[in-house]
A and B are shown apart, each in its own frame.
Chain A
Amino acid sequence: MSSPGDDSRSKRYDRQIRIWGAEGQSRLEAARVLLLNCGPTGSETLKNLVLGGIAAFTVVDAARVSARDLGNNFFVAPESLGEPRAKVVTALLKEMNECVAGSYVETPPEALVEADPGFVDRFDLVVATQMTEPHLLHLESLCRSKGVKLLAVRSYGLAGYMRASMPEHTVIESKPDTQVDDLRLTRPWPALREFAASFNIEALDDGAHKHVPYVVLIQQALESWRRERGGAPPSTAAERAEFKRRLAGMRRVGPEGVPMEEENVDEALKAAFHAWTQPSIPPEVRRVLEDERASPAAADAHTPGDDFWLLAAALRAFVANEGGGCLPLEGSIPDMHATTDLYLRLQRVYRAEAEAHAAAVEAHAARMLAAAGRPGGGVAAGAARHFCRNARNLRVVRYRTLAEEVAPESARGEALAEALGEEGTAANASLYVLLRAADRFHSTHGSFPGVLEGEVEADMAALKGLAQQVVAEVGASGAAAADDYACEMCRLGAAELHVVAAVMGGMAAQEAIKLITRQFVPFGGTLIYNAITSTTSVLDL
């Protein structure tokens, strides 16, 4: 399967495939994105996704290109003044990447959502930009009912807002920056023991000696340590130091009494902690395993292509049974000093055990499916292995609904009060409150505060009043939004500044990519960008 088209594609996306891999890229290339409103915030967000190579996008926007657009949106041209903005932006976005299909609908997004609720069905992700709270609430319930992910993004003066909404987002590849190698030297299985014991290290010639993999050196040292000390691995600082001295003692000494350069011994010393570090289950993964969805009942709800909770249930069963409290073995080994042959043999030992663990997990899943009366509906080939290989990286992000966030009975007033009161977050929490207040202002006045000439002072007072109302309603008693920020918001009106839109578009596309590729961990709350102080805060409300 190779054509010039494929080639230029892998070439074009080379730098990002280095980040999210071929699998992530193919998910991106299958994604269909709906953009609501294509001002600078929406256009910039979509630009970043089109460059990345999504399958298709549709732009919904009712505006005509105005002089103001020419000043803040890169994806309109002077000669298109007066034309439908959705059409112009779509055409210019498509120019950036011929692999991406694009279409547009010239209508107000709010109206489209009312008139054709099934419209969102055709998309994987809805990016709603510059929409006010009442419309977002409506859109959210629609997206939730259709199972479509929603990302709301907004630039307002020098403030930015972003929030995702979907019941939950599961991640198998959260891709932590660093991870300790899963060597299991404290819990060796028979094949690893045998492999390590098969080396008569003393008898090897010098050339072979320095090619013994360090895993074998540590394993042998640990075995003899345990034999001497009643089975316990080194635990106290003194014992660990003593153990390291033993490892160091494995280094050959040359005829002149000079210690030889043996990189495998150096590596063993660096990796000595494996001799006393027990495999553990990270707290985030423990939460996944203890989740009520990670139960045999997951088999009932299992749909092909989404194995997460079924496999989580199977994983839980594995940990409780075969695993003896541990996650499955990851099965890969780090680079180490060894002959190619020995390295491959060691790799086989690890891989075989990892495959046995994955098979056990898969068997649990099959048993659960059979018990649910759905035999044969097994998990996709290789899915269990992939899941097990990433067992330490599993994550679940759940999103409250926007409705829960704003309704007085379910709002987290205390959390808001805390954010408003704390030095590090006070300014950004104020912006959050003021954005909501501005939407209320808009609902009653039909325009945003400060937009109408000559009304600025009056609008400021009104906005402050509405902000107090928001704070009081959610029960954030004793807290208040900063007054000077209310003034700022009025002074700049609801202007969509390009410097803010560029930042929001970058961050929104980054989150969209996480949601689409199912890699990395998206943030869970409401993000506020403050261009006055160049900071962001994520508020969990």
Chain B
Amino acid sequence: MAAAAAPPAAPAATWPDVLSTPELQERIRTAKVLAVGAGGIGCELLKTLVLSGFEDIEVVDLDTIETSNLNRQFLFRKHHVGKSKAEVAAEVVSGFAPRAKINAHQANIKEARFGLDFIRSKDVVLNGLDNLDARRHVNRLCVAAGTPLVTVHLKGVTECYECTHRGSQQRTYPVCTLRNTPDKPIHCIVWAKDMLFARLFGRPEAVTDLDDQAAAAAKPGRDAALAPPASDSDAREQDQRAASEAAEAASFFLRREGEGAGAYAGRVFGRAFGEDVEKVARMEELWKSRRAPTPLRLAEVLPGDAAAAAAAAGAAAGAGGGVARALGLGDHDVWSDADAARVFLASVVAFLEHRPSEVGAAVFDKGMAGNIIHAVATTNAIVSGLLVTEAIKVLAGLPQECATSFIYERAVWSGRKKAPVGALVAAAACPPPRPGCMVVRSRLAVNEPSLIAGNFMYEEGGDLSDSEVDFNARKLGEKMAALPGGGLGHGAVVSVRDQSQQFVVEVIVNHRDDLSEEQHPEGFVLEGQLPAQQQAEGQGQDGQQQGEGQQRESGAAPGAAAAAAAAAGGKKRARGGGGGGDGHGDGADGAKRARAGAAADAAAPAAGGGGDDGPIVIDDDEDVL
């Protein structure tokens, strides 16, 4: 029952019998593995890999170790705080498994040196990543390179990561990014909310990641060799020193005896926007492929008079006002704590973005200040065990045995279908590639597309506010002809742009009546050749009530560097049962279901068609080169 089906070439190679064959043991020993990430899952993964016989492992992680990692990233000790996760993890694991050859890089996986050739040189890629963006990037590289990615993708046989995980909004951010390499407004907001705000307005004895940074930075030789200290007592001494530095760092943010409000504010400003930034700027490894930050000086930001005014306002605040009055915003009706917090956030963000003139002007959506991921050791352990099991199946040449696993917090699952009740881990066979997934076809994929056609505009991207995201998301459910700005019909030219990869392509929409559902279940055809200037053809079907009839789409893609592409809007097809979504992705992706539901809602009342996904488009895979 386990492995009866689909015997591959070698008769002995069935799962799990193959496990006990020397051939597989040898294959595992020599397999070239890339582990992306050396964090919570990454630590577990490296350990489980070497203890399963893997010996040729490359690990990439940009982050440095934080105290708050120690509750689960078990390869790290206190004296490692501030060092590279990838390098320490590799060193510790090598110590335990001297036969294993572990090559570590403190680097961003998106750097060019980890491009297609690099991925092609690997037998399997294992993903221990904590952010959606990089996960997408790795998925696309693996699809393009044809390298199996566990548990996410096996080219051609199973679906790819983006077949099911499209467009869901990431709402959590790694601490390292927040502190060292923020590059989006949201990073600044979360930094301000979870670190600085807590430091200034939270319980005085509380410790935030800011203190950690100060302690790590103060530690001598942190950038030097990663060799562990010579003895235990050295380590203990270092730990104690780090602890007392952390305590001192914490008290730094408290107002001192007899310190004027202005002086206090100036001191905090100098630390948060000056010294700390300087320290980060000195971490050269971080700035190899990005611009180093410049510290802010209070004197430059608030020259002369303004600084005095700020100090005066601060003094007024000392006389009984809240944060709001300190910021000179006392005339507003009522300031709740939440209001004050929001203004605080907006102000800090404005500073971080070097726009001090806007202090207090921009008040952000509540929902924008995302949360730090909570994490425990147990789930990581379970995931790593499952990941390596799948990797072994891949190496055994049995991708058909691979499973998509779901882990539940509670051992009860009363989901759809014949889901076993009482499952802590439930598995489903890996679905085949989803028709219409632009990534798995090795064709076109965008990160943050924006579409413009006449008066119609659609945008995605991390810089949008929640309400803008909602506003745009609503368009996805619409039929193309019903989109705002007059609709997109036969002959419309859609300009598709992806800021994240300097990519532009134009798509010409042609409508066609004779599209068979069997042949083109996604309801459109996307055609075009690489590199460019090729005739492309796409088609869509549009069962409009209003009698526009069916359209036929074809796209020609001009432009030099980019590929040809065609977009298809939310179409409506008469489908058996009608109503809901198309069922692909099998409920693993709430966002997708919601989207399909929205499409159904938007459908004309008389027809019970299923909605397809909207104009999520497109790009070539050139960007990965």
* Residue from the list A71, A207, A525, A535 in contact with B51, Cβ < 8 A: A71
Q: Which residues of A contact B335 (CB under 8 A)?
A: 340
Evaluate contact between A74 and B207: CB separation under 8 angstroms.
no
Per-residue contact bits, chain A 249-267, to B (CB 8 Å; 1 contact, 0 not): 0000000000000000000
Evaluate contact between B51 and A343: CB separation under 8 angstroms.
no
Q: Which residues of A contact B239 (CB under 8 A)?
A: 98
Listed stretches A130-138, A295-303, A398-406, A420-428; interface member = A420-428
Per-residue contact bits, chain B 1-36, to A (CB 8 Å; 1 contact, 0 not): 111100000000001110110000000000000000
Listed stretches A111-119, A196-204, A214-222, A498-506; interface member = A498-506
Listed stretches A43-51, A59-67, A317-325, A380-388; interface member = A43-51
* Residue from the list B44, B410, B420 in contact with A502, Cβ < 8 A: B44
Q: Which of B378-401 contact A (CB under 8 A)?
A: 378-386, 388-390, 392
Listed stretches B120-128, B243-251, B473-481, B520-528; interface member = B243-251
Asked, given contacts A44-B381, A502-B382, whether A343 binds B244 with beta carbons under 8 Å apart, the answer is no
Q: Which of B44-59 contact A (CB under 8 A)?
A: 44, 47-48, 51-53
Listed stretches B65-73, B293-301, B448-456, B617-625; interface member = B65-73
Question: Interface residues of A, CB < 8 Å — how many?
Answer: 80
Evaluate contact between B77 and A11: CB separation under 8 angstroms.
no
* Residue from the list A71, A484, A505, A513 in contact with B1, Cβ < 8 A: A484
Asked, given contacts A340-B337, A538-B422, whether A510 binds B74 with beta carbons under 8 Å apart, the answer is no
A527 within 8 A of B: yes
* Residue from the list B244, B372, B373, B419 in contact with A4, Cβ < 8 A: B244
Evaluate contact between B98 and A78: CB separation under 8 angstroms.
yes
Evaluate contact between B16 and A507: CB separation under 8 angstroms.
no
Q: How many pairs of residues, A versus B, come closer than 8 Å at their CB atoms? A: 218
The minimal Cβ–Cβ distance linking B54 to chain A, given in whole angstroms, is 11
Evaluate contact between A7 and B247: CB separation under 8 angstroms.
yes
Q: Which of A495-521 contact B (CB under 8 A)?
A: 497-503, 505-507, 509-510, 513, 520-521
Q: Which of B351-388 contact A (CB under 8 A)?
A: 372-386, 388
Evaluate contact between B388 and A499: CB separation under 8 angstroms.
yes
The minimal Cβ–Cβ distance linking B421 to chain A, given in whole angstroms, is 8
Evaluate contact between A506 and B381: CB separation under 8 angstroms.
yes
Listed stretches B424-432, B502-510, B582-590; interface member = B424-432
Majority secondary structure, A binding face: helix
Evaluate contact between A538 and B424: CB separation under 8 angstroms.
yes
Q: Which of A387-411 contact B (CB under 8 A)?
A: none
Per-residue contact bits, chain B 77-91, to A (CB 8 Å; 1 contact, 0 not): 110000000000000
The minimal Cβ–Cβ distance linking B179 to chain A, given in whole angstroms, is 14
Evaluate contact between A503 and B425: CB separation under 8 angstroms.
yes
Q: Which residues of A contact B423 (CB under 8 A)?
A: 535-538
Asked, given contacts A73-B51, A513-B378, whether A499 binds B385 with beta carbons under 8 Å apart, the answer is yes
A-B contact pairs, 26 of them (CB 8 A): A4-B243, A7-B205, A14-B68, A15-B376, A48-B381, A52-B377, A71-B53, A98-B239, A339-B336, A341-B334, A424-B419, A484-B4, A485-B2, A488-B16, A498-B48, A498-B51, A499-B392, A502-B384, A506-B380, A509-B381, A513-B378, A533-B403, A534-B427, A536-B423, A537-B420, A538-B411
Evaluate contact between B246 and A4: CB separation under 8 angstroms.
yes
18 other A-B residue contacts (CB within 8 Å) besides A15-B68, A502-B384: A12-B70, A14-B71, A16-B376, A19-B376, A40-B51, A48-B376, A71-B51, A158-B19, A339-B333, A425-B420, A488-B17, A503-B385, A507-B382, A520-B410, A531-B16, A532-B16, A533-B427, A536-B425
Q: Which residues of A contact B336 (CB under 8 A)?
A: 339-340, 343
Asked, given contacts A10-B206, A95-B77, whether A533 binds B424 with beta carbons under 8 Å apart, the answer is no
The minimal Cβ–Cβ distance linking B401 to chain A, given in whole angstroms, is 9
Evaluate contact between B382 and A506: CB separation under 8 angstroms.
yes
A225 within 8 A of B: no
Asked, given contacts A77-B96, A482-B1, A536-B411, whether A15 binds B374 with beta carbons under 8 Å apart, the answer is yes
A276 within 8 A of B: no
Q: Which residues of B contact A19 (CB under 8 A)?
A: 374, 376
Evaluate contact between A527 and B411: CB separation under 8 angstroms.
yes
The minimal Cβ–Cβ distance linking A334 to chain B, given in whole angstroms, is 13
Evaluate contact between B382 and A15: CB separation under 8 angstroms.
no
CA distance A536 to B385 in the complex (A): 14
B259 within 8 A of A: no
Q: Which residues of B contact A513 (CB under 8 A)?
A: 376, 378
Q: Which residues of B contact A211 (CB under 8 A)?
A: 334
B612 within 8 A of A: no
Interface bin, chain B: 35 or more
CA distance A53 to B426 in the complex (A): 29
Evaluate contact between B372 and A15: CB separation under 8 angstroms.
yes
Q: Which residue of B lies closest to A423 (CB)?
A: B418
- Interface positions of A (Cβ within 8 A of B): 1-2, 4-8, 10-16, 18-19, 40, 44, 47-48, 51-53, 71-74, 77-78, 95-98, 158, 207, 211, 335, 339-341, 343, 423-425, 427, 482, 484-485, 488, 491-492, 497-503, 505-507, 509-510, 513, 520-521, 523, 525, 527, 529, 531-540
Most buried by A among B53, B384, B411: B411
Evaluate contact between B243 and A5: CB separation under 8 angstroms.
yes
The minimal Cβ–Cβ distance linking B588 to chain A, given in whole angstroms, is 15
Evaluate contact between B422 and A537: CB separation under 8 angstroms.
yes
Evaluate contact between A96 and B77: CB separation under 8 angstroms.
yes
Asked, given contacts A4-B244, A499-B389, whether A525 binds B422 with beta carbons under 8 Å apart, the answer is yes
Per-residue contact bits, chain B 575-615, to A (CB 8 Å; 1 contact, 0 not): 00000000000000000000000000000000000000000
Evaluate contact between A536 and B212: CB separation under 8 angstroms.
no
Q: Which residues of B contact A492 (CB under 8 A)?
A: 16, 19-20
Q: Which residue of B lies closest to A174 (CB)?
A: B410
* Residue from the list B68, B250, B374, B389 in contact with A534, Cβ < 8 A: B389
The minimal Cβ–Cβ distance linking A31 to chain B, given in whole angstroms, is 15
Evaluate contact between A523 and B411: CB separation under 8 angstroms.
yes
Q: Which residues of A contact B411 (CB under 8 A)?
A: 523, 527, 536, 538
Asked, given contacts A96-B77, A523-B411, whether A16 binds B375 with beta carbons under 8 Å apart, the answer is yes
The minimal Cβ–Cβ distance linking A415 to chain B, given in whole angstroms, is 12
Asked, given contacts A484-B2, A520-B410, whether A424 binds B207 with beta carbons under 8 Å apart, the answer is no
* Residue from the list A51, A532, A537 in contact with B71, Cβ < 8 A: A51
Most buried by A among B15, B246, B420: B420
Evaluate contact between B212 and A11: CB separation under 8 angstroms.
yes
Q: Which residue of B lies closest to A539 (CB)?
A: B422
Evaluate contact between A424 and B418: CB separation under 8 angstroms.
yes
CA distance A218 to B241 in the complex (A): 58
Evaluate contact between A8 and B388: CB separation under 8 angstroms.
no
B405 within 8 A of A: yes
Q: Which residues of A contact B17 (CB under 8 A)?
A: 488, 491
Evaluate contact between A52 and B392: CB separation under 8 angstroms.
no
The minimal Cβ–Cβ distance linking B367 to chain A, given in whole angstroms, is 12
Q: Which of B152-195 contact A (CB under 8 A)?
A: none
Q: Which residues of B contact A502 (CB under 8 A)?
A: 44, 47-48, 381-382, 384-385, 388
Most buried by B among A2, A19, A506, A523: A506
CA distance A424 to B338 in the complex (A): 49
Q: Which residues of B contact A71 (CB under 8 A)?
A: 51, 53
Smallest CB-CB A-B distances: 6 pairs? A506-B381, A538-B422, A2-B205, A503-B385, A502-B385, A506-B382
